[in-house]
Chains A and B, each alone.
Chain A
């Protein structure tokens, strides 16, 4: 099943680097999400896009910058990260965030990020 793909799968970066995470969905969905998964913490929703419009930003520091050029692609631009930002970053997509009764999120494999 390759409905949602993420690249790279692993990334090591220094605190002064700039890098980007990429997510692509092949499910014909219109909503895309970024989550952060740290050790021993619940999954944290970071950003939500619905039909290319950002609908939610959960007080995420500005060193994380999302971009959604179309409904199939989602990026997370990283700049001047801190070691505590090391985590698994998961992308998800769903049909339409407004479709409350049927909307199910499907996840990608994640990018394991290590900040040195």
Chain B
């Protein structure tokens, strides 16, 4: 089955701290796609990154970085020098085609990040 686990329900940090959000996935697909979305209090899910299964190169975008490790089925997200504006719920998602999932996004339950000044 396809599954995404975000074990951290809530994380609270103080501004300027680094924070890592964990994401572990399960799939039998050989080709699949992983995503991170940010949901601020306004409600909209904001797309952050898409990574395909055959590209394990880590990515950095400003204060954001992603570590994809196929060996451990993990796709972790790190925010460096966190800011209050980073406070949101972050969702990891998997897209695959095994078992009739038809390429739908399978979302984790999300991690609520609170960054305090």
Contacts and interface: CB of A to CB of B under 8 A. Distances in A.
Interface stretch (B20-28, B35-43, B61-69, B71-79): B35-43
B103 A42 contact: no
A45 B50 CA distance: 19
A48 B45 CA distance: 17
A100 B50 contact: no
Nearest to B109: A42
Given A56-B102, A100-B97, A104-B50, A109 B44 contact: yes
A43 B104 CA distance: 11
Size bracket of the B interface: 20 to 34
A65 to B, nearest CB: 21
A105 interface: yes
Interface string A80-93: 00000000101010
Interface in A64-102: 88, 90, 92, 97, 100-101
Contact of B45 (A97, A101, A107): A107
Given A100-B97, A101-B52, A104-B50, A45 B44 contact: no
Interface of B: 31, 33, 35, 37, 42-47, 50, 52, 91, 95, 97, 102-105, 107-110
Given A100-B103, A101-B52, 4 more contacts: A1-B46, A42-B109, A48-B104, A100-B31
The 5 A-B pairs of least Cβ separation, nearest first, read: A107-B45, A110-B43, A109-B44, A43-B107, A42-B107
12 contacts: A40-B109, A43-B91, A43-B107, A90-B43, A100-B31, A100-B97, A100-B103, A101-B52, A107-B45, A108-B44, A109-B43, A109-B44
Interface of A: 1, 40-43, 45, 48, 56, 88, 90, 92, 97, 100-101, 103-110, 112
